[in-house]
Structure 1
Amino acid sequence: MSHAPGTHRRRRRAPRPVPLALAGALVATAAVALPHLTPEASAATTLRGYADGRGVRIGAAVGDTPLTSDASYTAVLDREFNSVTAENAMKWDAVEPSRGSFNWAAADRLVAHATSHNQGVRGHTLAWYAQLPSWLKNGNFSATELNTILKSHIDTEVGRYKGKVYAWDMINEAFNEDGSMRSSLWQDKLGTGYIANALRWAYTADPAARLYINDYNIEADNAKSDALYALAQQLLVQGVPLHGIGFQSHFEVGKLPTSMKANLKRFSDLGLEVSITELDIRIPLPASSAELTQQSTDYKSASENCLGVPRCAGITLWGVSDKYSWVPGTFNGYGAALPYNESYAAKPAYTGLSNGLDPNA
């Protein structure tokens, strides 16, 4: 999950495309074999049913509190989604609140719930500038020691869930809007090389997990996505185990970027998976019927933008219903961002997303 996205700055020229011979090699080494998904007994007309039929993921970010206390929440989650992402339970501050002392309770609960309901788990996130525990933020560690701390954390967490997490949002929000590297504990002390190191360590800990770089405001062809594209090219040429790009897709109603599908395709053309990882579409409150209709159209378009591209691995919503959405607390005056309202009634957005997932719609 991101902080409020900033405004795009002036676009710069896109980097040169990979030469055809190199592109072919990259596709050969990084090509994706999507995991077989076993359909649940639930009706084929659920979101999950459509996604299972296409061999892709339809996911939701899951909070520990509603998971353990809200039966309506889990009923929708288990009926409609074949994938879950830990909203907060796998982040540094939750998992390693003091150095070398780990708290797996909430993360383990999510993994156990997913396992018992035939859902895949997406891990989130291992190298981010935010939600770091104070011992780490304020430790003033040397580069050598910080490097050791990062490796140890990745080894421990990825190793614990080896074979239980199908993909990790390894690197989260590493870029500024102008395409420069964002200042962070990792970037400032270790330099951009921490990204390749983190990916290599995670691959060693679980070679079967798909490893992603995840960011927001990269859905369009712009300076930020150009910079990420250039980094992805570089990492692949170096043989770094990067498997996918996560497009968070926190949108405002009626403002989906027109270049989204073409932009996702250029990353797919590198041989990388592409996934929408945190989709929600916020509306100024109170939401009008026209805005809810437009939101439905936007959900359909966003899902089709990904599913219409080779190597689209799936779509994850940042939440299950408006009842627990992060949007009202982050974007003042906005809300109603998810396909289910606070009472778990399906909104027009549910139909839009269903139609985007249904190849026959």
Structure 2
Amino acid sequence: MSHTNRFRMPVLALAAGALLATGVAAQPASAHGGPPLRTLAHRADVRIGTAVDMAALADDRTYRSTTAREFDSVTAENVMKWESVEPQRGVYDWKPADDLVRYARAHGQVVRGHTLVWHSQLPGWLTAGVADGSIGAAELRVILRKHITTEVKRYKGRIQQWDVVNEVFEEDGSLRNSIWLQQLGPSYIADAFRWAHAADPRAKLFLNDYNVEGVNPKSTAYYELAKRLRAEGVPVQGFGAQAHLAIQYGFPGDVSANLARFEALGMQTAFTEVDVRMILPVDEAKLATQASYFRRLLDACLGARSCKSFTVWGYTDRYSWVPGVFGGQGAATPMDEGYGRKPAYGALGEGLAAGR
């Protein structure tokens, strides 16, 4: 599976068209009784979350009400990323992130902060300054510390978990050759956790990446990193598996074993960005496979005492990032573009109802 930046993409009607063309249709939310996902999650002692598109939250009444009804945890899809909060050096735009935090508080939801250090979606002033040499390594370290400290302190006490460093390894387990590694060396990872912890000692601090759901060279690199950093007293407290899956690639192996080894280090675990895409058009068999993937991930979480949070990366195809990035693919979320519940939604509900 390849993975690209999770910026907001234009809404495409591919998934809806595929549903109509095949005669496969999800049931509207209004056609179902029973408790919402968040009620079932509470009984199962886990948070059920979603990434939130702030433009949709402002403009789409159904999106706004469904987000409140179904989820007790929210993650900013984009508005807490560095390019959003500091588009010009020293000039901050906190309003969208503040709006999400206020919305969460009003609806009894916790917030996952995403993300403090990443190689992507950096402000242009930062990348340009490094590229032209006007920002050297020593200054860059000061800038990074200020960014982390400023953002974490702003939301101190209001963020349950932070994705502190995001996507720092390649598939073979080598460190990603990012601007941070090039300029600061590998110590930036430990520094980021120390700075975030100093800014909010109560927030749980996570490593986060894709293609790390099962046991493989990449997830093993994270395990070895976490073990070493924790032995050095660095406050690395959580491991987040994004779980951007695709049914055509098969389900990852050894998911439970992977969670167990991080749990044995004394860490929390979480699924942080779950979606399961498919090659269009949609059909019943693909939807059934998708549902099984969601359920197997959820069951792995519920089977691990360390797994306290399960977050989908958007819950309706109306606002999914997938079709705009993966040509000919989509339908990756538990609800269709009309908020109809797919088998995946039912699988999540049944899994949560079964509990730990």
Check whether TM > 0.5: yes
1:234 corresponds to which of 221, 224, 228: 228
The secondary structure found in structure 2 opposite 1:296 is helix
Question: Displacement of 1:258 after TM fit?
Answer: 2.4
Q: How does 1:41-120 map to 2 (within 5 A)?
A: 45-120=35-110
The secondary structure found in structure 2 opposite 1:178 is coil
> Quick one: distance in 2 between partners of 1:258 and 1:125?
27
**Would you say 1:3 and 2:3 are equivalent positions?**
yes
Which residue pairs with 1:12 in the alignment?
none
Deviations 1:121-147 (A, max 9, x none): 100001000000111011122211111
Question: Displacement of 1:45 after TM fit?
Answer: 2.5
Write the letter of the residue equivalent to 1:107: A
> Quick one: distance in 2 between partners of 1:4 and 1:222?
20
Which residue pairs with 1:302 in the alignment?
297
Q: How does 1:155-170 map to 2 (within 5 A)?
A: 155-170=149-164
> Quick one: distance in 2 between partners of 1:320 and 1:217?
20
The secondary structure found in structure 2 opposite 1:251 is strand
**Would you say 1:336 and 2:326 are equivalent positions?**
no
Question: Displacement of 1:246 after TM fit?
Answer: 0.5
1:173 corresponds to which of 135, 154, 167: 167
> Quick one: distance in 1 between partners of 2:122 and 2:253?
35
Which residue pairs with 1:267 in the alignment?
262
Which residue pairs with 2:199 in the alignment?
205
Which residue pairs with 2:247 in the alignment?
253
Greater than 2 Å deviation, 4+ residue runs:
2-5
Question: Which ranges in structure 2 are unaligned for 5 or more consecutive residues?
Answer: 6-32
Q: Is the 8 A contact 2:278 2:330 kept in 1?
A: yes
Question: Displacement of 1:73 after TM fit?
Answer: 0.5
Question: Displacement of 1:359 after TM fit?
Answer: 2.3
Q: Is the 8 A contact 1:298 1:352 kept in 2?
A: no
Question: Which ranges in structure 1 are unaligned for 5 or more consecutive residues?
Answer: 6-42
The secondary structure found in structure 1 opposite 2:340 is coil
Deviations 1:236-283 (A, max 9, x none): 000000110000000012622121111111111111101000000001
Question: Displacement of 1:3 after TM fit?
Answer: 3.3
Which residue pairs with 2:281 in the alignment?
286
Deviations 1:146-196 (A, max 9, x none): 110001011110000001111100100000011000011111101110011
Question: Displacement of 1:307 after TM fit?
Answer: 1.3
**Would you say 1:357 and 2:347 are equivalent positions?**
no
**TM-score, normalisation: structure 1:** 0.87
How many residue pairs align between the two structures? 323
The secondary structure found in structure 2 opposite 1:48 is helix
> Quick one: distance in 2 between partners of 1:260 and 1:46?
26
Deviations 1:21-63 (A, max 9, x none): xxxxxxxxxxxxxxxxxxxxxx973210111112221000001
The secondary structure found in structure 2 opposite 1:186 is helix
Question: Displacement of 1:320 after TM fit?
Answer: 2.3
Write the letter of the residue equivalent to 1:178: D
> Quick one: distance in 2 between partners of 1:112 and 1:44?
28
Give identity over the alignment, percent: 49
Question: Displacement of 1:360 after TM fit?
Answer: 5.6
Question: Displacement of 1:101 after TM fit?
Answer: 1.2
Which residue pairs with 2:126 in the alignment?
136
The secondary structure found in structure 2 opposite 1:358 is helix
Q: Judging changes above 3 Å, is the alpha-carbon distance between structure 1 residues 44 and 271 closer, same or farther for their aligned structure 2 residues?
A: farther
> Quick one: distance in 2 between partners of 1:360 and 1:277?
19
> Quick one: distance in 1 between partners of 2:327 and 2:196?
37
